[in-house]
Structure 1
Amino acid sequence: MADVRPPTGVTPYINVDGAKRALEFYEKAFAGEVKQTMPAEGSDRLMHAEIAINGTSIYLSDFFPDYGFPPVPPQAFNLHIHVEDAQAWWDRAVGAGCLVVQPLKKEFWGDIYGQLRDPFGVTWAIGQSDTH
C-alpha cells in the first residue's frame, strides 16, 4: 500500500458545478496534474478530487445539495499562482477560456500581477516577482 501522507499547511478546497470538467480545464489552463478522483456512487459527480498546480494541491468536488452542500458562487477569494513567467501562464489560461478580471501588468508594489475568472466562477491571480 502506498504511503499516503496528508498535506501540511493550507490546502484550498473548492466546490464547483462540474468537477470533472473543471479538472480537465485546470489541466489545460494551468498545467494541472490530476492526482486522484473519487466519483460519487451512482452519479457522474465527484465527491473528491485532487489536482496539483505549480507544485501545490487543490482539492475540489461537485456540489451535493442532497447532502447539505448546495451550489453557492465563489466568494471573496482568489487562488494565487506565483510563477517565474507570468505572461506564459497568463496566455495559456486565457487561451483555455479564462476571462480577464484585472489585466496582467506591473503593479505599484513592483510585481507583475493580474486576475482571471475561470468558466466555473473561480478567480485566479497570476503573479511574478519583478527582478529587474
Structure 2
Amino acid sequence: MSDEYPGVIPHLTIADRRADEAIAFYQAAFGAELVQRMPTEDGRVMHAHLKINGGSVMLNDDFPEYHGPTGAPAAMTLHLQVADADAAFDRATAAGATVTMPLDNQFWGDRYGQVADPFGFTWSIGGPVRE
C-alpha cells in the first residue's frame, strides 16, 4: 500500500463530458483540492485526482468507446494502489475475480489492470512498474 494512496479509492465516471463541472462542484461543496488533472486531446478529462477531507477521490469523463461487452459504463471503479500489482491481481483472480483489463505497464507509469468481482463491481489495481 502506498502512503499517498491508502485504503480503497473511489474512481467516479462522469457522464456527458461533465467531469470539469464535477470537479468544480466537489471543490465548492466539500473543499476538494485538485491534485492532478489530465485532459485528452479532445478536451475530455482522462484522469483527475482530488483530495477531500484527507482522502482521495479520482474521476474521469465517460469514454463510450471503451465500454465493455454490456455497452454500459461503470459508474464507479474501486481502486487499489499497491506495492506489488502482480501479487494483488493474482490474489484477486485466484479468489474468483474476472479479468476485464489485463494487468500491464501503462504509459502513465503504473502497472495497472482491472477485474470484476462476482457481485458486479469493477476493481482497478495499480502499482509501480516492475523492472
Measured against the shorter chain, the TM-score band is 0.3 to 0.5
Structure with the largest fraction of strand = 2
Q: Determine which structure has more spread, i.e. the larger CA radius of gyration.
A: 1
